[in-house]
Amino acid sequence: MDLRKPFYVHLVTALAAAGIAAAPLDRLSKAGGVGLVAGIGSAVAAEVAQRHGSRARALRSQIEGLSRQIEEKEQQLRSYENQLDELRTQLQQREEKLQRLDLAEYQKLLEQLETERQEWRQNAMNLSEQVQKQEQQLQGQQAELDHLRAQLRRRIEDLAQADTNTIVLARSERDFYREEAKSFILEILSRAADQVHKGSRVQHILQDLIQNNHANEGKSYRQRLREDINHLFRDYRKWCDNSYEAELHKLGFEVVSEKNYVVIRFRGDNRYQISLAKTLSDQRAGYEIAQNIRNKIFGLTEPT
């Protein structure tokens, strides 16, 4: 035997001679990582087989044992792979189920939120309607209260002056402020007394009525209202919501803003309505607006 050759060459030659060269190449590769080598002369193979027959048989037995172990390991590996695939399948199924559950819970939460939102909106609408009804009822009750107060004042005045010289005038118009009607009547009587013949009987009667009746509260309120209107529109050139609207509300006017003009109503009564342009060019326009308002809510010529 040529000792200079690698041992695996002699081993392969011996295996080939012993009849195991036909084993699968891949199995031999797994067992020892050695491939079969062809091209060895038959004479050399026979010599090697004779000298190393027993050793080759032992190696063949060892290789067969290793092959069986490899097959067993491969079977175990395939079993593990099958188990791993099964676990992966179960995991995927659980993930899909979890996703479906999450989606269902999310959808349920959305439906619950939508239901609560609709309930909140309906409650808000109901509350708004109730507030509007309460405001309307309050306005009606306030108007009725003002009317009853006016009747009570007239009744007290009637009782205080219940004698043959008392004059009672029935009316249905309610006062917008205290002693409004009485102050107007006394103002008109005062002006009429100056226009009739001096020393006449009618003048004496008018002067007597004026002297025995007073409406100082109504007269002073009307005077303050006149001055406030004059002051507010003295320098009026352009409408300013934050300024004019707030002041007009204080004076008892309702304000409705349109595109190019503003409508104001005294005490919310459409009979006493005045339109104002939002932008003016005439310097005297403010004075004329104040005069129109005074004429509408007073109806008396300005005192000289």
**What count of other Cβ atoms lies within 10 Å of the Cβ of residue 18?**
18
Q: Which residues contact 68 (CB under 8 A, 6 or more apart)?
A: none
Tell me the three state secondary structure of residue 264.
Answer: strand
**pLDDT for 253-302, tens place per residue?**
999 988 888 999 999 999 999 998 888 777 788 888 999 999 999 988 76
Are 63 and 32 a contacting pair, CB within 8 Å? yes
Helix (H) or strand (E) holding 86: helix 53-160
pLDDT confidence of residue 68:
83
CA torsion sign for 187, 188, 194, 197 is negative
Q: What distance in Å separates the CA atoms of residue 233 and residue 274, rounded to the nearest whole number?
A: 13
Pick 36 or 86 by higher pLDDT: 86
Helix (H) or strand (E) holding 47: helix 42-51
Which segment of 39-48, 71-80, 97-106, 175-184 scores lowest on mean pLDDT? 39-48
Are 111 and 142 a contacting pair, CB within 8 Å? no
Helix (H) or strand (E) holding 263: strand 261-266
